[in-house]
Chains A and B, each alone.
Chain A
Amino acid sequence: MAALALRALRGRLLRAAPGRAGRGLGTARDFPSLEEKPQFPGASAEFADRLEFIQPNVISGIPVYRVMDRQGHIVSPSEDPQLPKELVLKLYKTMTLLNTMDRILYESQRQGRISFYMTNYGEEGTHVGSAAALDDTDLVFGQYREAGVLMYRGYPLDLFMAQCYGNASDPGRGRQMPVHYGCRERHFVTISSPLATQIPQAVGAAYAIKRADASRAVICYFGEGAASEGDAHAGFNFAATLECPIVFFCRNNGYAISTPTSEQYRGDGIAARGPGYGLMSIRVDGNDVFAVYNATKEARRRAVAENQPFLIEAMTYRIGHHSTSDDSSAYRSVDEVNYWDKQDHPISRLRHYMQGRGWWDEEQEKGWRKSSRKKVMEAFEQAERKPKPNPQHLFSDVYREMPPNLRRQRAALERHLQHYGEHYPMELYEN
Chain B
Amino acid sequence: MAAAGALRLLVPRGRLLPPRRGLRLSAPAAIQVTVRDALNQALDEELERDERVFLLGEEVAQYDGAYKMGFTGIAVGAAMAGLRPVCEFMTFNFSMQAIDQVINSAAKTCYMSAGTIPVPIVFRGPNGASAGVAAQHSQCFAAWYGHCPGLKVVSPWSSEDAKGLLKASIRDDNPVVMLENELLYGVPFEMSEQAQSKDFVVPIGKAKIEREGTHVTLVAHSRPVGHCLEAASILAKEGVECEVINLRTIRPMDIETVEASVAKTNHLVTVEGGWPQFGVGSEICARIMEGPAFNYLDAPAVRVTGADVPMPYAKILEDNCIPQVKDIIFAVKKTLNI
Please judge, given known A-B contacts A211-B83, A213-B1, A235-B70, whether A203 and B112 are in contact too, CB under 8 Å: no
- Interface assignment of B173: CB less than 8 Å from any CB of chain A: yes
Q: Which residues of A contact B80 (CB under 8 A)?
A: 189, 201, 204-205
Question: Do A180 and B78 touch (CB < 8 A)?
Answer: no
Please judge, given known A-B contacts A208-B82, A213-B1, whether A180 and B112 are in contact too, CB under 8 Å: yes
- Interface assignment of A164: CB less than 8 Å from any CB of chain B: no
Closest chain B residue to A208, Cβ basis:
B81
- Interface assignment of B309: CB less than 8 Å from any CB of chain A: no
User: Which of A47-55, A395-403, A423-431 contacts its partner?
Assistant: A395-403
Question: Do B116 and A171 touch (CB < 8 A)?
Answer: yes
Please judge, given known A-B contacts A172-B113, A194-B104, whether A205 and B77 are in contact too, CB under 8 Å: yes
Please judge, given known A-B contacts A194-B100, A197-B104, A204-B75, whether A234 and B67 are in contact too, CB under 8 Å: yes
User: How far is it, in angstroms, between the C-alpha of A400 and the C-alpha of B82 when the chains are bound?
Assistant: 15
A172 to chain B, nearest CB (A): 5
Question: Do B112 and A400 touch (CB < 8 A)?
Answer: no
A404 to chain B, nearest CB (A): 8
B104 to chain A, nearest CB (A): 5
Q: Which residues of A contact B36 (CB under 8 A)?
A: none
Question: Do A242 and B70 touch (CB < 8 A)?
Answer: no
A197 to chain B, nearest CB (A): 6
Q: How many A-B residue pairs have CB under 8 A?
A: 143
- Interface assignment of A139: CB less than 8 Å from any CB of chain B: yes
Question: Do B149 and A190 touch (CB < 8 A)?
Answer: no
Q: Which residues of B contact A207 (CB under 8 A)?
A: 74, 77-78
Which of B71, B73, B82, B100 lies in contact with A199, CB distance below 8 A? B73
Residues of chain B from 148 to 177 with CB closer than 8 A to chain A in the complex? 149-150, 152, 173-174
Residues of chain A from 183 to 217 with CB closer than 8 A to chain B in the complex? 184, 189-190, 192-194, 197, 199-213
Question: Do A172 and B114 touch (CB < 8 A)?
Answer: yes
Which of A193, A204, A399, A405 lies in contact with B81, CB distance below 8 A? A204
Question: Do A175 and B149 touch (CB < 8 A)?
Answer: no
- Interface assignment of A264: CB less than 8 Å from any CB of chain B: no
- Interface assignment of A69: CB less than 8 Å from any CB of chain B: no
- Interface assignment of A173: CB less than 8 Å from any CB of chain B: yes
B105 to chain A, nearest CB (A): 6
Scoring A residues 143 to 181 as 1 if CB is less than 8 Å from chain B, else 0, what string do you get?
A: 000000000000000000000000000111101100010
User: How far is it, in angstroms, between the C-alpha of A212 and the C-alpha of B81 when the chains are bound?
Assistant: 10
A185 to chain B, nearest CB (A): 9
Q: By CB atoms of chain A within 10 A, which of B81, B101, B174 has the most? A: B81
User: How far is it, in angstroms, between the C-alpha of A289 and the C-alpha of B74 when the chains are bound?
Assistant: 31
Which of B70, B114, B174 lies in contact with A234, CB distance below 8 A? B70
Question: Do A234 and B149 touch (CB < 8 A)?
Answer: no
Give the size of the chain A interface in residues (CB under 8 angstroms): 52
User: How far is it, in angstroms, between the C-alpha of A232 and the C-alpha of B100 when the chains are bound?
Assistant: 14
Question: Do A190 and B113 touch (CB < 8 A)?
Answer: yes
Residues of chain A from 381 to 431 with CB closer than 8 A to chain B in the complex? 393, 396-401, 403-405
User: How far is it, in angstroms, between the C-alpha of A393 and the C-alpha of B111 when the chains are bound?
Assistant: 10
Please judge, given known A-B contacts A190-B116, A192-B112, whether A405 and B83 are in contact too, CB under 8 Å: no
Question: Do B70 and A238 touch (CB < 8 A)?
Answer: yes
Which of A175, A192, A403 lies in contact with B104, CB distance below 8 A? A192
Closest chain A residue to B174, Cβ basis:
A399
- Interface assignment of B115: CB less than 8 Å from any CB of chain A: yes
Residues of chain B from 78 to 96 with CB closer than 8 A to chain A in the complex? 78-83, 85
Please judge, given known A-B contacts A194-B104, A238-B67, whether A203 and B77 are in contact too, CB under 8 Å: yes
- Interface assignment of B134: CB less than 8 Å from any CB of chain A: no
A89 to chain B, nearest CB (A): 32
- Interface assignment of A237: CB less than 8 Å from any CB of chain B: yes
- Interface assignment of B109: CB less than 8 Å from any CB of chain A: yes
- Interface assignment of A142: CB less than 8 Å from any CB of chain B: no
- Interface assignment of B252: CB less than 8 Å from any CB of chain A: yes
Q: Which residues of B contact A393 (CB under 8 A)?
A: 114
- Interface assignment of A230: CB less than 8 Å from any CB of chain B: yes
User: How far is it, in angstroms, between the C-alpha of A206 and the C-alpha of B85 when the chains are bound?
Assistant: 14
- Interface assignment of B336: CB less than 8 Å from any CB of chain A: no
Q: By CB atoms of chain A within 10 A, which of B73, B75, B80 has the most? A: B73
Scoring B residues 120 to 150 as 1 if CB is less than 8 Å from chain A, else 0, what string do you get?
A: 0000000000000000000000000000011
Question: Do A197 and B100 touch (CB < 8 A)?
Answer: yes
Question: Do A184 and B74 touch (CB < 8 A)?
Answer: no
Question: Do B109 and A405 touch (CB < 8 A)?
Answer: no
Question: Do A398 and B111 touch (CB < 8 A)?
Answer: yes
Question: Do A400 and B110 touch (CB < 8 A)?
Answer: yes
Question: Do B113 and A238 touch (CB < 8 A)?
Answer: no
A189 to chain B, nearest CB (A): 7
- Interface assignment of B244: CB less than 8 Å from any CB of chain A: no
A406 to chain B, nearest CB (A): 9
A173 to chain B, nearest CB (A): 4
Q: Which residues of B contact A205 (CB under 8 A)?
A: 77-78, 80-81
User: How far is it, in angstroms, between the C-alpha of A220 and the C-alpha of B17 when the chains are bound?
Assistant: 43
Please judge, given known A-B contacts A396-B115, A398-B150, A405-B252, whether A231 and B81 are in contact too, CB under 8 Å: no
- Interface assignment of A341: CB less than 8 Å from any CB of chain B: no
Question: Do B73 and A203 touch (CB < 8 A)?
Answer: yes
- Interface assignment of A243: CB less than 8 Å from any CB of chain B: yes
B8 to chain A, nearest CB (A): 10
Q: Which residues of B contact A190 (CB under 8 A)?
A: 109, 112-113, 116-117
- Interface assignment of B338: CB less than 8 Å from any CB of chain A: no
Question: Do B77 and A234 touch (CB < 8 A)?
Answer: no
Closest chain B residue to A172, Cβ basis:
B114
A190 to chain B, nearest CB (A): 4
Question: Do A400 and B174 touch (CB < 8 A)?
Answer: yes
- Interface assignment of B40: CB less than 8 Å from any CB of chain A: no
- Interface assignment of B209: CB less than 8 Å from any CB of chain A: no
- Interface assignment of A182: CB less than 8 Å from any CB of chain B: yes
Question: Do B69 and A230 touch (CB < 8 A)?
Answer: yes
User: How far is it, in angstroms, between the C-alpha of A210 and the C-alpha of B71 when the chains are bound?
Assistant: 17
Q: Which residues of A contact B85 (CB under 8 A)?
A: 204
Please judge, given known A-B contacts A197-B104, A202-B77, whether A234 and B113 are in contact too, CB under 8 Å: no
What are 24 contact pairs spanning A and B, CB under 8 A?
A172-B114, A175-B111, A175-B112, A176-B112, A184-B116, A184-B117, A190-B116, A194-B105, A197-B104, A197-B105, A200-B77, A201-B74, A203-B74, A204-B77, A207-B78, A208-B77, A208-B82, A209-B81, A235-B70, A237-B67, A238-B70, A397-B113, A399-B150, A400-B110
Measured CB to CB, the residues of B under 8 A from A are 1, 3-4, 63, 67, 69-83, 85, 100-101, 104-105, 109-118, 149-150, 152, 173-174, 252
Closest 4 CB pairs between A and B?
A234-B70, A200-B73, A204-B77, A201-B77
Interface contacts beyond A197-B100, A237-B70: sample of 11 additional A-B pairs, CB < 8 Å, sorted by A: A171-B116, A192-B104, A201-B73, A203-B77, A204-B74, A204-B78, A233-B70, A235-B70, A242-B63, A243-B3, A399-B150
